[in-house]
Amino acid sequence: MENVALIESFSEFKDDKLIDRVTLMAILEDVLRNALKKKYGDDDNFDIIINPDKGDLEIWRNRIVVADGEVEEPNQEIALSEAQKIEPDFEVGEDVAEEVKLVDLGRRSILALRQNLISKIHEHDNTNIYKHFKELEGEIYTAEVHHIRHRAIILLDDDGNEIILPKDRQIPSDFFRKGENVRGIIESVELKGSKPAIIMSRTSPLFLEKLFEQEIPEVFDGLITVKKVVRIPGEKAKVAVDSYDDRIDPVGACVGMKGSRIHGIVRELGNENIDVINYTNNVQLFVTRALSPARVTSLKLDEENMRAEVLLKPEEVSKAIGRGGHNIRLAGQLTGYEIDVFREGAEEDVELKEFSDEIDAWIIEEFSKAGLDTAKSILEQDVNDLVKRTDLEEETILEVIRILKEEFED
């Protein structure tokens, strides 16, 4: 009866977990052999026959008949008198096959055996899930919000697999409700113990690159190549694209008429501002394009130190730097060059660090983060704009402006 009960539970797993029959039979045999080793010390002389269709299994113990009193290995040998109880005409030297019932293993062993079977099947299931998602690393995946926690959102896919979207992998403007579908890329898959931890990201540059593949046919078909993507998630991104077919305008194809093609991507990313730029091997031209929408007057490259000095008209400077310094920072990341901006007619300008005796270093650093590193770059700005672009109080900014104005009046 215990044999049948075990097979029934075996069938339950097959239906529930969709594991193939051969694998399940191998797992069941492995579990049975472990139980036999614990009971008899060895399992080499046991035959296990599993018949899931009939709902039965058989375990046969094979031993050699030896004369009474000469049994040295009880698991391998059987005394003649014991063998003859099974079959009266057995003789010394013959092989005896004796059926072992699960009940012979003991009730506790049977319970442990079932628990071990459950554990092994879950382990196999988790290994398959790990392998499946490991192959999906870097690919877009969709899952449903199951639980919202402070540090992460727990998602479930159609197969009930748990996927984690940590807070720092969410776009700042992301707001999800339970039951809502979420798209992101599978960023990493790790085995923690025997359970796979699947991490999704919506902030990775690769997510934006994969969205281009999904939404723009020419990118999907390989007619347009995404060369590099840089992002400040939810704020701004720059995407360099190229085409080996001169008849295709890669930027035009990606953006579409009046932004029709890129609009869905922008919406997916919480209205992230996306600049699509024509890639080129000409570094000077690439740096110039990367600073879009600003128009560069002239450019000087120091290729050894990976620095670029850019000269701009005064009205173009704020465009090059961008809100919060986002534009110039992303241009630097896209090109790999540290970009220094200079204004036309700024020969009389003074670097802000020259005022370190009167202005605290941390205040100078705050201005520098916003791309404002000279006296005139600050004096040309509106006070309200300076408050928005830095983390400084209006009172502090007014004091800095007073100090700078005194320098130029002198």
Phi, psi of 380 (to 5 degrees): -75, -10
What mean pLDDT do residues 190-202 have?
A: 87
Identify any residues that bridge with 301 across adjacent strands, giving them in sequence order. 308
pLDDT tens-digit series, residues 77-135:
888 888 888 888 888 888 988 888 877 676 676 676 777 777 776 777 777 788 889 99
Nearest-angstrom CA–CA distance, 310 and 47: 81
Q: Please, which pLDDT band fits residue 335 given cuts at 50, 70 and 90?
A: very high
* Distance (Å, whole) CA 32 – CA 10: 12
- Residue of 99, 8, 23 whose CA lies nearest to 54: 8
Place of tokens 């899952």: 143
Give the DSSP per-residue string, 343-359: ETT-TT--BGGGGTTTS
Q: Parallel, antiparallel, or unpaired for β 224-232 and 236-243?
A: antiparallel
pLDDT of residue 356: 84
Confidence of residue 239 (pLDDT cuts 50, 70, 90): very high
Q: Are 293 and 328 in contact (CB under 8 A)?
A: no
Reading the block at residue 293, the tokens are: 């929408």
Q: Which of 173, 133, 171, 166 is nearest to 148 (CA)?
A: 166
Per-residue pLDDT at 74: 85
Q: What is the pLDDT of residue 264?
A: 92
Q: What number of other Cβ atoms are within 10 A of residue 169's Cβ?
A: 21
User: CA 342 to CA 311: how far, in whole Å?
Assistant: 5
pLDDT in tens, 141-192: 999 999 999 899 999 998 889 999 999 999 999 999 999 999 999 999 987 7
Find the distance separating the first CA and the last CA of the chain, reported in whole Å: 103
- The predicted pLDDT at position 233 comes to 95
User: Chain-wide mean pLDDT for the chain?
Assistant: 85
pLDDT of residue 175: 92
Give pLDDT, residue 244: 86
Residue 12 has pLDDT above 60, yes or no: no
Task: State the greatest distance between any 2 C-alpha atoms of the chain, in Å, as a whole number.
Answer: 124
Task: Please state, as a whole number, how many other Cβ atoms lie within 10 Å of the Cβ of residue 397.
Answer: 22
User: Which 3 state secondary structure label does DSSP give 315?
Assistant: helix
**Predicted confidence (pLDDT) at residue 308 exceeds the cutoff of 50:** yes
Question: What is the spatial distance between Cα 239 and Cα 35, in angstroms, rounded to a whole number?
Answer: 60
Tokens encoding 407: 């320098």
Check residue 162 and give its pLDDT: 93
Paired with 64 in beta bridges are 77, 95
Cα 394 to Cα 382, 388, 391, 401: the distances in Å are 11, 10, 10, 10
pLDDT exceeds cutoff 90 at 204: yes
pTM: 0.63
State the CB neighbour count (10 A cutoff) for residue 384.
Answer: 10
Task: Round to whole Å and give the CA distance between 387 and 367.
Answer: 10
Instruction: For the chain, give the number of residues.
Output: 410
3-class DSSP string for 214-276: HHCHHHHCCCEEEEEEEEECCCEEEEEEEECCCCCCHHHHHHCHHHCCCHHHHHHCCCCEEEE
Higher per-residue pLDDT: 86 or 281: 281
pLDDT greater at residue 121 or residue 403: 403
Question: Which residue has 């004796």 as its token pair?
Answer: 98
Query: Which sign, positive or negative, has the C-alpha torsion 317, 323, 326, 329?
Result: positive
Separation between Cα atoms, residue 320 and residue 16, nearest integer Å: 59
Whole-number Cα distances in Å, 249 to 150, 156, 208, 215: 44, 40, 20, 17
Contact 3, 56 (CB under 8 A): yes
Q: Please give the order of strands across the beta sheet that includes 236-243.
A: 224-232, 236-243, 273-278
The pLDDT tens digits for 63-81 are 998 898 888 888 888 888 8
> Which tokens hold the place of 212?
């281009």
Strand partners, 232: 236
- pLDDT tier for residue 1 given thresholds of 50, 70 and 90: very low
